[in-house]
């Protein structure tokens, strides 16, 4: 029976220990130069609670995350794991026994308060202080490590396009200066706690960051094509030219502008840059869509008799094919071709008129072909 009680107590103790030492996980989103702060508390039953603030800032220019720990007291943090017995072989902290170099006055002394020692889990001699900060998904930047700190600070370098990382806070120690003798100071380590807090960080990168030159170049290209389009359109604002040479010049200018301003095939995740690319391409499409109509002066207009007669023959041939085919879709296609030819020919006659006998005869032939189509295919 006593064994059963022992095992039950052991299980309960393990469960309580697990809850007390459970890691706290917090999601964090960091945007450029927008600080994140988290208020923590280091507790001691003897002297009460001390607030500690964790502050993180992402700097997109240097591609780094800076972590700072601030408190109303002096701060100390281990930079690697170290056993309590090695760090505190006696009543004071022996920084010379650490596995890394720390800066500070070698004559200063760092005494361990009794209540601080009692707050540590037992067996104390086997307790391991964890490095006060560690990270995944980014690399710590080397920096001086001081014994006495007004602010504990660590800087981490991110991968070029990294967006996911984590920072874990562990053992933080706080101290007070109790006396000074000459150049030497005596500090008392009154507080200590394994914060065991992990920040899962998502980096919110600005897709336009570092693209100032590309944006300026795209803006210049867009401005240039807009000016060229407006100048070109102003020359042909009425959409009419009065000579074949004028029509030829229009098309030469149109082709030259399309060569000068090729379509931009680039795409960008930066909204500002992508908008400029799209605006640029829209004006190129507008240049390509411009058109003019050749409208000769009345005394220079002539009707092309050959085209009129050729159109009339095409209508007659299509009607003949329409009569011989049984295919519904072919008949519809032939009828559509005839309607298009009739519309184009009528517009040509309207614009140029028919003044000579040869022109009038050609128009008569066309009208008979049109009537033949109307009687047969409609």
220 in the same domain as 279: yes
136 in the same domain as 176: yes
Predicted confidence (pLDDT) per residue in 93-114, tens digit:
998 888 888 998 888 999 998 8
Written as one string, the DSSP assignment of 234-288 is HHTTT-EESSHHHHHHHHHHHHHHHHHS-------SSHHHHHHHHHHHHHHHHHH
Q: What pLDDT, on the 0 to 100 scale, is given for residue 229?
A: 92
83 in the same domain as 56: yes
Asked whether residue 120 is assigned to any structural domain, the reply reads yes
Which stretch of DSSP H or E encloses residue 321? helix 305-324
Output the average pLDDT for the chain. Answer: 86
Q: What pLDDT, on the 0 to 100 scale, is given for residue 18?
A: 36
Predicted TM-score (pTM) of the model is 0.64
Distance CA 227, CA 232 (A): 9
Asked whether residue 11 is assigned to any structural domain, the reply reads no
192 in the same domain as 126: yes
Predicted confidence (pLDDT) per residue in 309-342, tens digit:
888 899 899 889 888 888 888 888 988 999 999 9
Q: What pLDDT, on the 0 to 100 scale, is given for residue 356?
A: 80
Q: What pLDDT, on the 0 to 100 scale, is given for residue 296?
A: 62
Range of the domain at 264: 212-294
Asked whether residue 2 is assigned to any structural domain, the reply reads no
Other CB atoms within a 10 A radius of the CB of residue 367 amount to 15
Percentages of the chain per state (helix, strand, coil), in multiples of 5 = 45, 30, 25
Predicted confidence (pLDDT) per residue in 238-254, tens digit:
888 877 888 889 899 98
164 in the same domain as 39: yes
304 in the same domain as 290: no
Cα–Cα nearest to 214, from 259, 272, 261, 169: 272
Number of structural domains in the chain: 3
Domain final residue, candidates 278, 294, 310: 294
Asked whether residue 224 is assigned to any structural domain, the reply reads yes
Asked whether residue 252 is assigned to any structural domain, the reply reads yes
Q: What pLDDT, on the 0 to 100 scale, is given for residue 302?
A: 62
Is the predicted pLDDT of residue 14 greater than 50, yes or no? no
Predicted confidence (pLDDT) per residue in 190-233, tens digit:
888 999 999 999 999 999 988 899 999 999 999 999 999 999 98
Asked whether residue 7 is assigned to any structural domain, the reply reads no
Predicted confidence (pLDDT) per residue in 105-159, tens digit:
888 999 998 888 888 888 888 899 999 999 999 999 988 899 999 999 999 999 9
């Amino acid at each position: 029976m006593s064994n059963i009680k022992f095992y039950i107590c052991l299980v309960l103790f393990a469960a309580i220990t697990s809850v007390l030492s459970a890691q706290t996980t917090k999601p964090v989103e960091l945007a450029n130069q927008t600080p994140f702060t988290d208020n923590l508390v280091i507790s001691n039953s003897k002297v009460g609670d001390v607030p500690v603030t964790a502050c993180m800032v992402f700097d997109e220019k240097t591609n780094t995350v800076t972590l700072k720990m601030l408190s109303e007291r002096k701060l100390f943090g281990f930079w690697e794991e170290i056993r309590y017995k090695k760090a505190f072989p006696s009543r004071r902290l022996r920084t010379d026994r650490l596995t890394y170099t720390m800066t500070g006055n070698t004559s200063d002394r760092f005494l361990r308060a009794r209540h601080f020692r009692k707050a540590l889990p037992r067996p104390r001699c086997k307790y391991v202080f964890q490095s006060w900060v560690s990270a995944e998904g980014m690399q710590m930047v080397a920096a001086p490590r001081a014994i006495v700190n007004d602010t504990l600070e660590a800087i981490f370098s991110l991968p070029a396009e990294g967006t996911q990382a984590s920072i874990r806070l562990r053992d933080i120690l706080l101290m007070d200066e109790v006396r000074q003798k000459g150049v030497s100071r005596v500090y008392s380590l009154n507080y200590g706690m394994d914060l065991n807090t992990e920040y899962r960080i998502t980096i919110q990168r600005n897709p336009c960051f570092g693209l100032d030159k590309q944006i300026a170049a795209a803006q210049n290209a867009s401005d240039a094509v807009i000016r060229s389009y407006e100048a070109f359109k102003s020359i042909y604002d009425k959409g009419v030219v009065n000579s074949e040479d004028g029509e030829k010049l229009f098309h030469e200018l149109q082709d030259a502008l399309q060569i000068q301003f090729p379509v931009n095939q680039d795409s960008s995740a930066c909204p500002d840059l992508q908008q400029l690319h799209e605006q640029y391409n829209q004006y190129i499409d507008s240049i390509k869509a411009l058109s003019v109509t050749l409208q000769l002066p009345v005394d220079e207009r002539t009707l092309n008799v050959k085209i009129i007669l050729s159109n009339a023959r095409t209508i007659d041939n299509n009607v003949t094919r329409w009569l011989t085919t049984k295919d519904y879709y072919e008949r519809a296609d032939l009828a559509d071709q005839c309607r298009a030819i009739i519309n184009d020919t009528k517009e040509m006659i309207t614009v140029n008129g028919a003044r000579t006998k040869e022109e009038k005869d050609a128009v008569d032939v066309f009208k008979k072909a049109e009537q033949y189509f109307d009687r047969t295919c409609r």
